[in-house]
Structure 1
Amino acid sequence: MSNKLMTACLFGVITMILTGCWDSIDIENRANVLAMSIDLAHSGEPEHTKHITSLKEGYEEEGQELLILTAQVAVPGRIPLGPETTNGGGDGPVWVVTSTGKTLNDALLKMQLLIAETLFLGHLHVIVVSEDFARSGLDQLNDFLRREAEVRRTAWKVVSKEKASTYMKVAPELERIPALYLHSMIENTVELGKFPDSFLGLFWRRMSSEGEDGYLPYLQIVNEDNIQIKGLAYFDHKKMVGILEPVEIGLFMAIVGDEEGGYGFFVEVPELDEEVLLITNRRKSKIKTKINGEQPEMEIKIRIEVDLHESNHEVLTIDNEQVLKEIEQQCSVITEQKANEIINKMKEERVDIFGFGGYFRAKQPKFWRNEVANEDGWRDHFEQLNVDVSFHCHIRKVGLKAE
């Protein structure tokens, strides 16, 4: 009996080993999508795709806006495997394909008919959405991406000021593959402390959390082939409602306690008609919550370390410690004032991108259960939230000469 059992087990193991990957697809038979963009279609459905997924005439006139899906597909054999010896921007490594549909799945089905190989989203790095699409809501896109098991949660979703499809055709000089350049640019911006981490999985977590709203990078094309982060696009109920300017992003990161510095700003030297440039090196914040009666309150203490880099006047010298202290004081006053403006702006729009609701939910559970209960309840309290913000600037390094 034992011999029969051992034989059966051995046969089962051998069977599993020898079967291989029953659902494998050779890499050359896949069309790897590296990036995709989504725009709202304002000119209707193209004639060549009208009757692919619809059985009736004029379905684009039923009141539902159509979507334009554009994808960068890697061309097999043309992706560089090593460092380039020539400038980027040449055509060849990617193929840009466009389709239109009522939904993303509809557009993807039509796109598949334009490509011989099977579309594969496992190497998708960036999803670019136009501002008008983002303001109309991201429910459909989020639902599609969450149900698509191939899509990595480490991919980035970004909002574009221009048509999103433009980013599929931009050819930066530093990289032959536009999608990889865009992905690297965003990742490096996070590492340099110029933007908070908000990759796809993290964005979904924030959007699903009670007491916190999501945000994404807001991009703009400059000089045709240059891409810059123009601001931070923030969302309310999965719809984009506004933008923070680049200089405000640094203060936002200070409020939420993102330690890595990166932004610079000018501060006026007291009693002198001069300005000095301060570069943020480190940030640290301490957040406390309390309930005063039935009113929630927050106390935020922020310390930022800055490097004093340069002046807008050649003859300015740092000759005593008192001048440094006055600059630190001026820095604290300016940053505190601007941070309060950002918080008040978010309170007026009832958008909690700071995640203050999460602090109350964790630290004040009784208040949350009895007074807040859900996301809409928190928006009412957030609008009336008392926030006491204090900044302390410390000059860590001086790059100006002293006499």
Structure 2
Amino acid sequence: MFARRIAVIGSGYVGLTTGACLASLGHRVVCADIDSAKVERLREGVVDILEPGLADLVVENRAAGRLEFVVGAREAVGGGDGDPVEVVFLCVPTPMGVGGAADLAAVRAVAEEVRHLLPSGCVVVNKSTVPVGTAEATRRLLNRRDVAVVSNPEFLREGSAVQDFLHPDRIVVGSDAQDAAERVAALYSKLGAPTVLTDAASAELVKYAANCFLAMKLSYVNALAELCDVLGADVGDVTEGMGHDRRIGQAFLRPGPGWGGSCLPKDTQALVQVAAAAGIDVPLVSASIETNERQQRLMLDKIRAAVGGSLAGRRLGLLGLTFKAGTDDLRDSPALAVARLLRGEGAELTAYDPGCPHAVPGMTDAVTVVDEPLLVAKGADALVVLTEWPEFRSLDWAAVAGALTSRVVVDTRNLLDSDVLRRAGISWVGVGRR
């Protein structure tokens, strides 16, 4: 494998993981960000996001001279005195815009900023999740016949992004310029992963198709859990029986308070918008979104019933705020969505999350954030598990029982061992469980 000179524009979850992991594969990488304070911290080996193994990769590759950080895309693409960059990865935010469509303002801004700085023969790679047609739009915006545009979607899960990058299920690369696609695919040759080489539009659609399928699977299991609650069945046994079917598998078959995070909510909405623009209805995806919103209200109903029918003035302790365990990401967190519903009915909320030890203005305003799990139980009318942090299983449940006013736990993740809680004198309420 030949080492390439690579620029990565954007140093968030995707960009920083991409840059550090490509450097670990032997490439020379410069990562850019518009936040000068963040760049300075990264130069010192300080990684602000909670992502196992990422900080170690940054420090190791900085020391080896394969990874550097600069302020601004122009500096990354055209500011070096050494060899010109050969590949430029765009890893900028594409948040949900008006009507649910992806907001591509950052992609367009970077393309406009660097188009005259790109060396001849360079390849621009859209790594961010973007709608079908973005590669073509980027190519037109660059207006450079000597620069190819490639779609190379990421499939990184927060909390295991480094592992996912270095041990991928597949690598998808799409371009109407076959040689450019092969050059990008070659960057990953050390990984030995199955590689799908296709056109740009197909590569762009793969990411949406995969995430929307996972969202549908999660919404389906949440609907099954509701049915189990009504019929007296056990969703754990039902999903175990389903999961042994190789056509279905065990993954994404655990009910919860709904799905969230930085990808599934915006990607499902974006696919609905993309399909609508093409004159196509995707009712399965639309129903999954509706089911997800309904799931949060069902959790509200379950918690309300557990405390006697009214939430007004009730003190509730919340275990978990992040959208999933292993991350500090609060974006589109179902835990926060449920918290806001609880607060809207007058509940007083205290919360603890290992990944979020302090209040985050604008995000955690509905709750009082504390830094010890026992503090959420003190004087609480119920404890509610909203994020599946493994350490919640090993809490001192006898001490928790002593702190609670009413000894009841609503476990929206079916995380805890009901027998352990029962021995501590605590009533356990799960989702779809007998």
More strand by share: 1
* Greater Rg over alpha carbons, structure: 1
Task: Return the structure number with greater helix share.
Answer: 2
Give the TM-score normalised by structure 2: 0.25
